Structure 1
């Protein structure tokens, strides 16, 4: 096994969420007791992580299943913060954890990143739903169809927990916003940007008017990047100090949210920023055409994702001490700075 330190394998260190989790692990009061290994694609970033941050960095990609299985088998804790839909990757990690349990009798910990996309419908921007999911309502979550987004991966992880060779915890962030900060961002290792809001911002800049799917009526929750990263650490600390008191497996779903917005709210905030920055003459969003959905999001289906409902309450995270600070008002106030950043990038392209 190891030298008495807690062995951690983290996927997604160069990403938005994973980079912030790694940042917090490196600043953790017990960081001297951690042995952290990360998987990265870039040899340059691997060298930086090892030389500047004393992190073991393995160069590779998610398709190298044998490598994933190997390093998962060497870890007591695995953080999966990369692709929520890569089932072969997850199966390889779980195989590694199973091998570890069989070899050492260890009960490894698997903390996986899913998303509230699993709750989405086909509203296409035209209506809001009254259905709200609680992560304390196990039956409600288990009613989700296996065809829902991320669901096949989530079910595989829950099954592993039920088989008893590891303890699994699934964190489901909602619309994450805010610029990620810290030494990994400053070193050019991790990504400072989210995805959902920047997609709308970039499309709106290009068309010179805020855009939205349908009428922008559906509702989503939101959470600041700092708050969502804090949830991972609150959960990690609770598992490490009182594992039997922390729900896992079929009860181990943890939503991440601290407020709600409509898609229209986001597009309207983008519109206001475009007017203030002299890009658009009106702050009123207009409906994205089918051609625009394909142009800006890669496909009509991907575009329509920005017109779905996904409502939930993060009751379980709060029950173990998570205290998110940022609100929907903070999310809307943050949008102008995102518009300014992507305007600069567009003008220098």
Structure 2
């Protein structure tokens, strides 16, 4: 069997590093015909990527010419893009270079995205659960409200299809648990709630308010942001890091400036990152053998494991205040 050359980017991040680790651990049994390459920014990360079984390529996603040379000279036929996936310019460089590779092997482009494209906070019109067996691409095209992430999704599909590349967008509504890569070992959302808890010492949430075939929802159950915040509050209270095990609404709502300050983001991103009412139904993965390994109970149990690493790194635990959280009543996906 011919060797397939696969390029990873974002390998020093939480998700990219974890995926690379999984590939390394299973390469001897499942991916014997795959050669891994990793795009990294410097020699230090190159050494670590090599330890994880990947041939390092030092460069920047902003350097179009360098990206072109790396991909074409190494005969890359599959790209897993997991770095700044809302940036279309960078992704266009990758797809353009992939299209230029001369190979008889089918080329593939995989991008990982958040799921806020399918939530009301970004103008998505539906309130029911969206299945990835539907024509999600066409629904994004038809959506009356423009949103950057949806535009990127459509650009990926259209540009890849025109070049004969199979594109896949994997939507991950909420990633959680400790990563196993060489860089970041925590994600954004749950640690964000934990850091806010350490700052303010109580739990708060906001009140409610033709088939492309390349959309895959990474979902294994429903969980609301209120449930998530309540769980964080419980584990923080057990450690004496918050004053109450109960979550309450953010002070000052509907103004989200207080929430944004504690969550270290702009008010406009409070609902996008730490809230939202995204309803997804992952069905397409089953057609290629994907099966959820963990359920809702496991999801919540992992929150307990994320607190200590953050505390050890002194992420805002010196302040004695409360846990905050942007919650829209209803159900979200994880």
For Structure 1 versus Structure 2, the TM-score category normalised by the shorter chain is 0.7 to 0.9
State the secondary structure of the residue aligned to 2:175: strand
Q: 1:203 to 1:319 in 2, by over 3 A?
A: same
The alignment status of 1:193 with 2:183, answered yes or no, reads: no
Q: Please tell me whether the aligned partners of residues 119 and 148 of structure 1 are also in contact (alpha carbons under 8 angstroms).
A: no
C-alpha deviation, 1:142, in angstroms: 4.7
The alignment status of 1:335 with 2:334, answered yes or no, reads: no
Decide which moves more: 141-150 or 277-286.
141-150
Residue 232 (structure 1) aligns with: none
Q: 1:292 to 1:43 in 2, by over 3 A?
A: farther
- Give the distance between the partners of 2:32 and 2:285, measured in 1 at CA: 26
Q: Please tell me whether the aligned partners of residues 254 and 316 of structure 1 are also in contact (alpha carbons under 8 angstroms).
A: yes
Q: 1:280 to 1:47 in 2, by over 3 A?
A: closer
State the secondary structure of the residue aligned to 1:153: helix
- Give the distance between the partners of 1:249 and 1:10, measured in 2 at CA: 27
C-alpha deviation, 1:343, in angstroms: 2.8
So what's the TM-score if we normalise by structure 2?
0.82
- Give the distance between the partners of 1:155 and 1:175, measured in 2 at CA: 22
- Identify unmatched segments of 5+ residues in structure 2: 320-334
Write out per-residue CA displacement over residues 290-348 of structure 1, whole angstroms, 9 at most, x where no aligned residue. Answer: 33233223210111222311110110002211111111111112212222332333258
Residue 270 (structure 2) aligns with: 303
Q: Please tell me whether the aligned partners of residues 162 and 249 of structure 1 are also in contact (alpha carbons under 8 angstroms).
A: no
Would you identify which runs of 4 or more consecutive aligned residues in structure 1 move more than 6 Å? none
Q: Please tell me whether the aligned partners of residues 11 and 49 of structure 2 are also in contact (alpha carbons under 8 angstroms).
A: no
Residue 100 (structure 2) aligns with: 99
Q: Please tell me whether the aligned partners of residues 13 and 22 of structure 1 are also in contact (alpha carbons under 8 angstroms).
A: yes
Q: Please tell me whether the aligned partners of residues 110 and 167 of structure 1 are also in contact (alpha carbons under 8 angstroms).
A: yes
Aligned counterparts, 1:45-56, within 5 A: 45-50=45-50, 52-56=51-55
Aligned counterparts, 1:27-66, within 5 A: 27-28=26-27, 29-50=29-50, 52-66=51-65
Residue 292 (structure 1) aligns with: 258
- Give the distance between the partners of 1:211 and 1:41, measured in 2 at CA: 38
Q: 1:21 to 1:249 in 2, by over 3 A?
A: farther
Q: Which residue, out of 133, 136, 144, partners 2:133?
A: 136
Q: Please tell me whether the aligned partners of residues 95 and 159 of structure 2 are also in contact (alpha carbons under 8 angstroms).
A: yes
- Give the distance between the partners of 2:148 and 2:295, measured in 1 at CA: 26
Q: Please tell me whether the aligned partners of residues 12 and 82 of structure 1 are also in contact (alpha carbons under 8 angstroms).
A: yes
Q: Please tell me whether the aligned partners of residues 117 and 149 of structure 1 are also in contact (alpha carbons under 8 angstroms).
A: no
Residue 20 (structure 1) aligns with: 18
Alignment RMSD: 2.5
Q: Please tell me whether the aligned partners of residues 168 and 252 of structure 1 are also in contact (alpha carbons under 8 angstroms).
A: yes
C-alpha deviation, 1:164, in angstroms: 4.1
Q: 1:20 to 1:283 in 2, by over 3 A?
A: same
Q: Please tell me whether the aligned partners of residues 161 and 249 of structure 1 are also in contact (alpha carbons under 8 angstroms).
A: no
So what's the TM-score if we normalise by structure 1?
0.79
Q: 1:166 to 1:122 in 2, by over 3 A?
A: closer
The alignment status of 1:282 with 2:249, answered yes or no, reads: no
Residue 78 (structure 1) aligns with: 79
C-alpha deviation, 1:10, in angstroms: 0.9
Q: Please tell me whether the aligned partners of residues 49 and 57 of structure 1 are also in contact (alpha carbons under 8 angstroms).
A: yes
State the secondary structure of the residue aligned to 1:20: helix
Residue 204 (structure 1) aligns with: 197
Task: Name whichever structure is richer in helix by fraction.
Answer: 1
Q: 1:30 to 1:163 in 2, by over 3 A?
A: same
Residue 283 (structure 2) aligns with: 315
Q: 1:200 to 1:134 in 2, by over 3 A?
A: same
State the secondary structure of the residue aligned to 2:289: coil
- Identify unmatched segments of 5+ residues in structure 1: 124-128, 219-247
